[in-house]
Amino acid sequence: MKKLIIFFSVLCLGVLFLSFSAPNKEETAAKGIDFFKGTFQEALALAEKEKKYVFVDVYATWCGPCKQLKRTTFKDKEVGTYFNKNFINIAIDGETEEGDEILNRYNIRSYPTLLILDAKGRVQTRHSGFMKPFILINFGRRIVPL
C-alpha cells in the first residue's frame, strides 16, 4: 500500500511539473498565425491600443481554399512570425451574424477574402483566394515592411 501511495505521489508531481513547463522557442515560433479570439470590434480596439493593423481572414466552413489556407499557409513558421509581430489577426466565419456584417461592410463576394485594415476599420489592401506563405507575407509587406 505504501508503495502505491508513493507511486501515485510521484506520478502526480510529474504531471504537475510537465503542465507548468514552458514551450521552447522552436515550438512557439513554429505555431503559425495566432488568431485573436474576441470580436471584430475588440480586435480593432486592440489594434488601436497596440498601434498595429488588423489582418482579417473572412472564410466559410465549407470553403476548400479557406481550409487549405488554415492547413498550410496560416501554419507556416515565417508567416506566423511576421503576422503575429505586426498585426492583430482575426478569422471571421462569413456565415455568422458578425460575418454577415463584415460581408456587407466590406462588400465581400467570395471566400476566402483577406483584408488588412487600420485600427479605424479602413481597408488598406485586400485579396480573395488562396495564397502561398511567401505571397501572404508580401501581401502584408505592402502595409508593414519587414
How confident is the model over 45-80, as pLDDT tens digits?
999 999 999 999 999 999 999 999 999 999 999 999
Please state the rounded mean pLDDT for residues 25-32.
Answer: 58
Number of CB atoms found within 10 A of residue 50's CB = 11
At residue 90, the 3 state secondary structure works out as strand
pLDDT band at 130 (very low <50, low <70, confident <90, very high): very high
At residue 128, the 3 state secondary structure works out as strand
CB 40, CB 99: distance < 8 Å: no
